[in-house]
A = this chain, B = another copy of it.
């Protein structure tokens, strides 16, 4: 029955140190070429990508394939037709760039493969993660007894914050079904989805109006909370965005902190995009009040430039994060006293997990915090500069000036449409009315078509990649300056490509609809 243990699999599953070197060098050679040509690579050319995907759809082979064949498949066929989030021209969504030092940290962590889920298994490696978390606690202005956790990204960080709020304040009880949650209508979808996965009914998430600067409107929030109390709901949690994804808007965080305290509500801050700007003087001013949040999410794979895969949740009273993840039951051994030292499994949902701390720690050690702060200051400058330039173009509206490093613009609307749109924006009743929305959408159909045309023309030279969003039925074009690789030269290309597109698309008469 038992088959003899063949020495063969030892040779194939375990590369010799020499084979390991050859493997890694072949990949490094490809990566060097990738990095050396990055500035010239197209930023968002995905034509033919699904056809290439179809060729990769098969299962793994029974016997191994030659390394060069596999690397050619990846680097020549699979990787190129995708959005190039590593490019300096990537001004889409929320870029970070992806520090190579962090990727090297992942190589190191994977080969040594130590277990960092439970502190006693690797105390010094867990402490490296604890040290970067303490540093983040200081960056956002939290007190020393705050703590946190590195996650795979902002969505799971948000889920961890919300599950903490629920477990600490409501437990598993019917109150969860009466609890209501609030955020502005600009909040990221991750917050709503996290709420539902945590167990709150989707219909209990209230999106209150934002103001002319796309910030949460406090009066609207107060009215919503009062109405819910009157209707028998239990207003439970309010989220303030410290930099929305749409326009980079920063909600009135200090006022929200006051309001939440007055109402006995949990105050969560979504600083996934904006939080790292607290490393700069201007950022700290813009984000004042953030440090009063009960929980806060900040994504190191955004403003700290890591490759995708690292979010962070911080909890003001660190002990609450631990209590939320502690499960007591008759059959479980009693948990000990509060642990003095950080222990990941006790502060989060994971047990086995990757050693995420190193990919943040290593770049910070090798580069130092000053360079991160300087790079973030540079992004604030660059966003302000290109916004100022776009504001001079008569064909465009600067729909959202940068509050941090995101801005949005669109072809200027005819005067009547412009005032209709502003009227709609400033009237919460209209904004909730499906008929009014449909009418506005119909009126904006043609301008929106031109916006998309403009966007396509801007992106066509493949030097920059901008993405659209929709603000009250109006399509706009976003610019998010956040990659550590994006410098003034690339913003000059962006301005030039925008000017060309404006002249080509908006300078012409309204095109035929044939």
Q: Which of A93, A154, A329, A370 has the most CB of B within 10 A?
A: A329
Q: Count of A residues near B, CB < 8 Å?
A: 171
Name the contact of A196 in the complex, choosing from B32, B107, B114, B172 (C-beta under 8 A).
B172
A449 within 8 A of B: no
The CA-CA distance from A350 to B197 in the complex, in Å, is 11
| Chain B residues whose C-beta falls within 8 Å of the C-beta of A349 in the assembled complex | 155-156, 159, 193-194, 197
| Given contact pairs A82-B122, A96-B113, A103-B109, a sample of 13 additional A-B residue pairs in the complex whose CB atoms are under 8 Å apart | A6-B374, A13-B305, A24-B28, A27-B107, A46-B121, A50-B123, A58-B131, A61-B364, A62-B370, A85-B113, A86-B114, A104-B110, A197-B325
| Chain B residues whose C-beta falls within 8 Å of the C-beta of A156 in the assembled complex | 156, 349-350
Q: Which of A56, A96, A138, A207 has the most CB of B within 10 A?
A: A56
Interface positions, chain A 45-102, Cβ under 8 Å from B, are: 46, 49-50, 52-54, 56-65, 67, 70, 74, 77-79, 81-86, 93, 96-102
- The 0/1 profile, CB within 8 Å of B marked 1, for residues 7-32 of chain A is 01110111101001101110110111
| Chain B residues whose C-beta falls within 8 Å of the C-beta of A370 in the assembled complex | 62-63
Interface pair A12/B163, CB less than 8 Å apart: no
Interface stretch (choices A379-387, A414-422, A499-507): A379-387
- The 0/1 profile, CB within 8 Å of B marked 1, for residues 376-405 of chain A is 011011101100000000000000000000
Interface pair B368/A193, CB less than 8 Å apart: no
Interface pair B50/A14, CB less than 8 Å apart: no
Name the contact of A34 in the complex, choosing from B84, B111, B198, B361 (C-beta under 8 A).
B111
A262 within 8 A of B: no
| Chain B residues whose C-beta falls within 8 Å of the C-beta of A65 in the assembled complex | 365-366, 368
A174 within 8 A of B: yes
- The 0/1 profile, CB within 8 Å of B marked 1, for residues 472-488 of chain A is 00000000000011011
A283 within 8 A of B: no
| Chain B residues whose C-beta falls within 8 Å of the C-beta of A97 in the assembled complex | 113
| Chain B residues whose C-beta falls within 8 Å of the C-beta of A58 in the assembled complex | 131
Interface pair A82/B384, CB less than 8 Å apart: no
Interface pair B361/A329, CB less than 8 Å apart: no
Top 9 nearest A-B pairs (CB, nearest first) are: A103-B110, A98-B113, A309-B354, A82-B122, A199-B199, A60-B364, A53-B127, A106-B106, A110-B307
| A371–chain B nearest beta-carbon distance, Å | 4
| A482–chain B nearest beta-carbon distance, Å | 13
A176 within 8 A of B: yes
A240 within 8 A of B: no
Interface positions, chain A 433-474, Cβ under 8 Å from B, are: none
Name which residue of chain B comes closest to A69, CB basis. B365
| Chain B residues whose C-beta falls within 8 Å of the C-beta of A307 in the assembled complex | 109-111, 113, 354
| Chain B residues whose C-beta falls within 8 Å of the C-beta of A17 in the assembled complex | 32, 35-36
| 19 CB < 8 A contacts A-B | A2-B385, A13-B372, A17-B35, A17-B36, A27-B104, A31-B108, A34-B111, A57-B134, A62-B369, A79-B114, A83-B122, A85-B115, A152-B350, A152-B353, A154-B351, A166-B199, A172-B196, A176-B199, A190-B351
Name the contact of A78 in the complex, choosing from B6, B85, B125, B311 (C-beta under 8 A).
B125
The CA-CA distance from A136 to B458 in the complex, in Å, is 42
Interface pair A20/B35, CB less than 8 Å apart: yes
Interface pair B82/A125, CB less than 8 Å apart: yes
